[in-house]
Amino acid sequence: MSIKKVFAAALACMAVGSSTAWSQTYTCSGGKSQQMGSAGGYDYELWSQDGVGNATMTLNPSDANGGGFSVQWSGTVNMLARSGKRWGSNSTVTVQNVGNITAEFEVEWSSTDNVKYVSVYGWGYYDKQDIPSGFSNEIEYYIIQDRGSYNPTQGGQRFGSATIDGIEYDFFTTDRRNQPSLSGTSTFKQYWSIPKSTSQHRTKGTISISKHFEAWAKAGMKMGKLYEVASMKIESYTGQGGNAKGSATVKKNLLKIGGPVNPDEYSLTTSVSPAGAGTVTKSPSNTSYAKDASVQLTATPATGYKFVGWSGDATGTTSPTSVTMSKNLTVTAKFELMSGDGTTNLLKDGDFSSSSVIADDGASWKLGQGTNWGSSVATSSVAGGTASINVTTIGTEAYQPQLVQYGLALDSSMKYKLTFKAKADVARKIEASFQQSVDPWGGYASKEFDLTTTEQTYEYVFEMTKASDPESQFAFNLGQATGNVSISDVKLVHTTTSSISASRGISAPLISVVGGTLNVSSVAGSKLQVTVVDVHGKVKADFNTAGTAVNAKNGQYSVPLPKVKAGIYFVKVQSAGQSYASKILVH
């Protein structure tokens, strides 16, 4: 029975600026099934299956009462209206690191429908090791507050019970097979908290959402990343008869996120700067800590980086270090790229290892096409580590369609290098862009590339000159022409140098190591200064291609590296005020 909604990653109906979002009205009827948007810091959605009947939602957010709204429906098959917080399919927020989530709510509603709910609602994901056999990684969850006579957990598997907020809840899972989900149609699990007695149903109060997540985990109902938490949802289902009717006013929906789940304990939030440069671990690793507890923090740099110190509620340059939990603490481990290029790919699944890495939602890459992308039309396929995008109709904007990745952290003042391989069935242009993933969609950096029918490697170096953005987006914009584009080996790394040519195709490696000899190709006959450093930044070799000790033939320069031991090194090549860096492996 359940809810059948397919989320659009782009907003199907977006409020035009915050000044016009207040008291905005959404309507689903005449085949229009979904409207989504944001107002007052809350994400809203109205959904009506197949656009049957009429459903109208009026947004009423306020500082005092949160994400309030009212909704009326008639003649619908399955209708839901909700508001809360949506992190999206590329969320890095988990039930473990989100902190404490609570909601204060008050609802007035009236409906004769048999299947109806007032609930907390949302979607989350299993961690890879916890995915049940035969199911997707998606979880649809409910924390029921009030309902009709139909019990949605009939036939489900009970996982125990707990008393939360003075209400005794039973915990169930149910199976949804080949039903609409975040990723389209899939087989997935539903999690339920449902009051044991109907006498404990309510239409106002406080919901300790994180305590449900904790209780589920203890009962064996595991969940990792969160797509969203809709702190208040109204739902009605009548089936294909389409005879539903009702109304509801959510007078209060005050969602609070952050702090420890237990009020007598403190939270410890850790991060790294720049993103992807290393890790920081806590010992013990808890979601909250008792007053005056000691927690050890260890910073571990990624290859090619060094740890330079702590900021926030920890100081010094020693790792590990310890902090005392006298309040809610926030600590950042700071790292520095020593030389050349970083070793961590900041983009996910740039090697296109399988077709599952491109999906409508829930995957690393999304092919943006269709109604929300200017009615553009494109399809994707993956084979042998290459993504092929076939554009049959371009959109109304130059970027449509696009292959996009959300949730990319870009740090202010950091320099980045993008490299990728690409070709097209006919010569054409594509654009690589970095920008905000939400309104006003501000741009950070972009570059247009000329593709040929022969695969080449392309490169783009840019500096993040705006404020840090932990949730930016990267995209290949493909609206310049129709036809097939093949893309592979997409990498984004930190860098300390600029490219010799920020966007030129490199048909052959500039630097290579063969048999202990470093080979460097001269660029346009120029003389090059070449420096080899180890992962600690120590210079191991330094020479100029104009020197007599360097063997030169047809613009190819070679120099033995007899004193360089096996390992990873960085080579910096400078010419005419420009520089290029590459990582090499000496055997």
Please state the length of the chain.
Answer: 587
Q: What does the longest C-alpha to C-alpha distance in the chain come to?
A: 92
Q: Which of 140, 214, 228, 459 is catalytic?
A: 140
- What would the two tokens of residue 300 be? 């571990």
Residue (of 329, 352, 342) closest to 280 by Cα position: 329
* Active-site choice (138, 214, 228, 235): 235
Specify whether the CB–CB gap between 114 and 282 falls below 8 A: no
Q: How far is CA 281 from CA 293, 298, 331, 507, in A?
A: 16, 5, 11, 42
Q: Give Cα separations from 369 to 376, 423, 550, 586 (angstroms).
A: 5, 20, 53, 44
Active-site annotation holds for 235: yes
- What residues are paired with 53 via a beta bridge? none
Told to judge if 140 belongs to the known catalytic residues of this protein, a careful annotator would answer: yes
Where helices occur in 345-392 by DSSP H, the ranges are none
Residue 480's φ and ψ, nearest 5 degrees, are -75, -25
Cβ-based neighbours of 137, under 8 Å, separated by 6 or more: 125, 126, 128, 131, 362
* Rounded-to-integer distance, Cα 559 and Cα 95, Å: 54
Give the separation between CA 419 and CA 579, rounded to whole angstroms: 16
- Phi first, then psi: give them for residue 233, nearest 5 degrees: -140, 135
Question: Which token pair is 465?
Answer: 């000159």
Distance between CA atoms of residues 382 and 362, nearest Å: 17
Instruction: Answer yes or no: are the C-beta atoms of 533 and 582 closer than 8 Å.
Output: no
Scan for tokens 């992190």, then name that residue: 87
Spatial distance between the Cα atoms of 364 and 354, rounded to a whole number of angstroms: 11
Q: Which are the contacts of 84, defined by CB distance < 8 A and separation ≥ 6? A: 42, 43, 67, 121, 122, 228, 229, 230, 231, 232, 233, 253, 255
Q: Which two tokens stand for residue 12?
A: 């199907």
Q: Specify the DSSP class assigned to residue 357.
A: G
Catalytic residues: 140, 235
